[in-house]
Amino acid sequence: MSITILGIESSCDDTSAAVIQDGYLLSNLIADQDVHRNYGGVVPELASRAHQQNIIPVVEQAIKSAGISRNEIDAVAFTRGPGLLGSLLVGTSFAKGLAMSLNIPIIEVNHLQAHVLAQFIRKKEKPSEIPSFPFLSLLVSGGHTQLIVVRDYLDMETIGRTIDDAAGEAFDKCGKVIGLPYPAGPEIDKLSVQGNRESFQFNKPRIKDLDFSFSGLKTSFLYFVRDKVKEDKDFVQKRKPDLCASLQKTIIDILLNKLIKATEKTGIRNIGVAGGVSANSALRNTLTNEAQKRDWDICFPEFEFATDNAAMIAITGYFKFKKGLFSLLDIAPLARMDI
Ligand code: KG4
Ligand code: ZN
């Protein structure tokens, strides 16, 4: 008998629904929200309103393009947290209502765990590289930067985390300083290709053990740009690719340095990179080269599963379904959740 899971993701600014059957992806629909672009960040109230508008058509389309009927769905997996409470509430309530009407169970999913497990989404037409257990996950997203020991699908332990901003936040906030639209990460990635990463030096934090910090970098970048603009008002315009490449290199250096420490401390050489920032091309290149040098086995999620998506919620739901880990209907979303 096959297991079919509908996944729903609504933790931040993307409304997404996906269908996974026996671990294989049948559909993954994402409606992103343009409403935040003009504000330089996600506006929570606008996000939950947009989720309300999007959720029914997105779920319907996901079921339709999966080529299944509603009655084939065995459980609805949804993001319980962490994220914006109003946004999470839309997905959680919808999951409950749909599951009740179909008389099937719901499965709560931790968004962070789902990012880590995005590596395991399979596509029929294309075999993907899957890390073997135990592996170290470098989770780098807009809200989180963590190093996690993954012993099994649902057995994870965080061994390092950011004490302030996340890596994605560093990209986004520094991008804002030089006038890039939100989210700035993908734009910095693109602009860096034409820049020289050795052009400028920014402060790197000295944080003990396996923890990270990015807020000092943001401040040092801000002051640096401010001083240079005082000397030449066209500085940003003239040196944008160099600024992007140098900033990006600093962020990658910080991440790589801690990843090396984590492999030394744990002795684990299998690595999975996860979260929105894992889409960054320079990060992928740097870590792939480093893996060759250091004899690591490294995997990245496919680009479409690096940033927020419901396929990762559905695959996590699938692993929980197999263990009988269902949730009660009175479950509430949580703005904060950890691994
Ligand atoms: O995982 P995600 O979609 O959402 C969260 O759970 O936070 O990550 C979004 C973050 C944003 O900060 C965005 O700027 C960053 O991922 N991002 C990138 C790239 N694509 C997305 N950062 C650097 N380079 C990219 N190509
Ligand atoms: Zn995310």
Q: Given the CA of residue 306, which atom of ligand 1 is nearest to it?
A: 1
CB distance 82 to ligand 1 below 6 Å: no
pLDDT of residue 35: 67
Pairing of strands 297-299, 270-274: parallel
71 CA → ligand 1 middle, Å = 35
CA of 275, nearest ligand number: 1
- Mutate-to-test residue for ligand 1 from 16, 138, 169, 171, highest number of ligand atoms within 8 A of CB: 171
323 CA → ligand 1 middle, Å = 31
**Smallest CA separation from ligand 1 atom 16, residue:** 276
CB 65 within 8 Å of CB 30: no
CA of 274, nearest ligand number: 1
Q: Tell me the C-alpha distance between 323 and 318, whole Å.
A: 9
CB 62 within 8 Å of CB 28: yes
CB distance 175 to ligand 1 below 6 Å: no
SS3 9: strand
pTM, to two decimals: 0.94
pLDDT of residue 36: 65
CA of 183, nearest ligand number: 1
Name which of 136, 219, 213 is nearest 177 in CA terms. Answer: 219
Which region, left, alpha or beta, applies to residue 60 given φ > 0 means left and ψ of -120 to 50 means alpha? alpha
135 CA → ligand 1 middle, Å = 22
Q: Given the CA of residue 308, which atom of ligand 1 is nearest to it?
A: 3
CB distance 307 to ligand 1 below 6 Å: yes
CB distance 279 to ligand 1 below 6 Å: yes
pLDDT of residue 169: 96
SS3 214: coil
119 CA → ligand 2 middle, Å = 14
DSSP characters over 109-171: EEHHHHHHHGGG-BBTTB----PPSSEEEEEE-SS-EEEEEEEETTEEEEEEEBSS--HHHHH
Q: Given the CA of residue 144, which atom of ligand 1 is nearest to it?
A: 7
Distance of CA 335 to the CA centre of its chain: 16
Q: Tell me the C-alpha distance between 309 and 91, whole Å.
A: 13
CA of 30, nearest ligand number: 1
Could you tell me the mean pLDDT of each successive run of 10 residues in the chain, 339 residues long?
96 92 96 71 81 92 97 98 95 98 98 96 84 97 96 98 96 96 95 97 92 96 97 97 98 98 98 97 98 96 94 98 97 95
The count of residues in the chain is 339
Residue list, CB under 5 A from ion ligand 2 = 141, 308
- Mutate-to-test residue for ligand 1 from 12, 119, 187, 277, highest number of ligand atoms within 8 A of CB: 277
Q: Given the CA of residue 166, which atom of ligand 1 is nearest to it?
A: 12
**Smallest CA separation from ligand 1 atom 21, residue:** 276
pLDDT of residue 198: 97
